[in-house]
């Protein structure tokens, strides 16, 4: 039986819930379909010691300040899950969990949303499926011959899984730095951290707040027709959150340039030397989870969907939220997703009122 509604939101992580908050305020009829059995989006799957790179109040969704976590300047992932779970309840958001959307198709002047628990016919769709389910693994020579463990950020949980082992962590972003630090500080793991280009730490007194301020200034400049002030990339890549700072200051973060290939039992360096390794953790980023939108045939360069703000250029009934700067500056962050969520819902409300 097909259900009818104004708006379907695909994905009930922070982005989907931020959209839900604004849809509620606009008085629109909507449903949020989320593949996870429980609230929290990908925060519930992140590793035990992960900490935010911004303080709580600078990691808040619309309408509700994230409470501070006692004793922590930068809250951990468990605190974020509690906050998102509370948010979903507090605003009584209609999230249908354990529901995976397989396809979104055109259907006359509506969109048909086909999920494993049913079908919805909607006048607009907001896709907020994040990137967690699309880990990116680079093509590196020898990956198929390495006999040790290989895992991506998404599968990393704790140093206990690597006690007594030689682990190579690949990736010069926040995940690479935090996982290399987590392993190094544990003391039972021999860690080598490799990056494509020299690791660039933000100054210690700068954290995610500055990243958001820079992204906001860039958006404002672009909106006002001024020259592009450049994104956060100009600042550096890594926020020196406490565990990263401790490992770095203790000289435990020995960074090396990327190896040239993997061998059966280790890595080959550019100078031809070899190091044994028992495991490789690929902290090499993600791609947007957009497979459910394939029937709409909207894919553009780099696997993105061309948008104007959040709205898909070739399908004005579809909005994309939370995937990164291409869907709004800092939109892939807790504090950054609120504004594009509000703008998307306001556009939808105008469109549905005509």
Which residues contact ligand FAD by CB under 6 A? 10-16, 33-36, 41-43, 46, 52-54, 59, 100-101, 128-130, 132-133, 153, 174-175, 208, 289, 292, 322, 332-334
- Number of neighbouring beta carbons within 10 Å of residue 235: 16
- Number of neighbouring beta carbons within 10 Å of residue 234: 9
Is the alpha carbon torsion for 181, 155, 75, 164 positive or negative? negative
- Residue 317's H or E segment, with its range, is strand 315-320
Nearest CA among 286, 298, 348 for reference residue 19 = 348
The residue among 84 and 280 lying less far from ligand FAD, judged by its C-beta, is 84
Least Å distance, CB 186 to ligand FAD, is: 18
Least Å distance, CB 276 to ligand FAD, is: 28
The residue among 201 and 269 lying less far from ligand FAD, judged by its C-beta, is 201
- Residue closest to ligand FAD when measured from CB atoms: 13
Least Å distance, CB 127 to ligand FAD, is: 9
Which are the contacts of 104, defined by CB distance < 8 A and separation ≥ 6?
10, 111, 112, 113, 114, 125, 127, 292, 293, 295, 296, 318
Least Å distance, CB 334 to ligand FAD, is: 4
Cα–Cα distance measured from residue 283 to residue 44, given in angstroms and rounded to the nearest whole number: 18
The residue among 261 and 304 lying less far from ligand FAD, judged by its C-beta, is 304
Least Å distance, CB 198 to ligand FAD, is: 21
The residue among 216 and 260 lying less far from ligand FAD, judged by its C-beta, is 216
Q: Are 129 and 154 in contact (CB under 8 A)?
A: no
The residue among 129 and 307 lying less far from ligand FAD, judged by its C-beta, is 129
């Amino acid at each position: 039986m097909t259900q009818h509604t104004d708006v379907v939101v695909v994905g009930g992580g922070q982005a989907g819930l931020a959209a839900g908050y604004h849809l509620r305020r606009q008085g629109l009829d909507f449903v949020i379909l989320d593949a996870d059995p429980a609230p929290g989006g990908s925060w519930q799957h992140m590793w035990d010691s992960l900490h935010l790179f911004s303080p709580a109040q600078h990691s808040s969704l619309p309408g509700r300040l994230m409470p501070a976590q006692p004793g922590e300047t930068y809250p951990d992932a468990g605190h974020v899950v509690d906050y998102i779970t509370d948010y979903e309840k507090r605003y009584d958001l209609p999230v249908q969990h354990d529901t995976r959307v397989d396809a979104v198709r055109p259907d006359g002047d509506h969109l048909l949303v086909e999920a494993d628990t049913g079908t919805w016919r909607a006048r607009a769709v907001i896709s907020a499926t994040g990137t967690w389910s699309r880990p990116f693994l680079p093509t590196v020579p020898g990956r198929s011959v390495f006999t040790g463990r290989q895992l991506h950020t998404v599968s990393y949980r704790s140093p206990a899984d690597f006690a007594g082992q030689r682990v190579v962590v690949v990736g010069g972003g926040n995940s690479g730095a935090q996982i290399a630090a987590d392993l190094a500080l544990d003391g039972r793991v021999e860690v080598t951290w490799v990056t494509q280009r020299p690791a660039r730490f933000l100054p210690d007194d700068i954290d995610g707040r500055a990243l958001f301020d820079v992204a906001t200034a860039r958006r404002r400049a672009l909106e006002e027709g001024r020259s592009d002030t450049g994104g956060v990339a100009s600042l550096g890549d890594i926020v020196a959150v406490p565990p990263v700072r401790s490992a770095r200051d203790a000289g435990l973060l020995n960074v090396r340039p990327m190896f040239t290939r993997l061998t059966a039992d280790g890595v080959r360096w550019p100078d031809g030397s070899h190091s044994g390794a028992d495991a490789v953790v690929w902290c090499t980023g993600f791609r947007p989870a957009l497979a459910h939108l394939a029937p709409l045939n909207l894919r553009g360069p780099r696997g993105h969907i061309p948008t104007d703000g959040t709205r898909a250029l070739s399908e004005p009934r579809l909005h994309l939220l939370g995937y990164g700067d291409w869907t709004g500056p800092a939109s892939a962050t807790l504090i950054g997703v609120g504004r594009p969520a509000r703008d998307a819902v306001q556009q939808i409300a105008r469109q549905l009122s005509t």
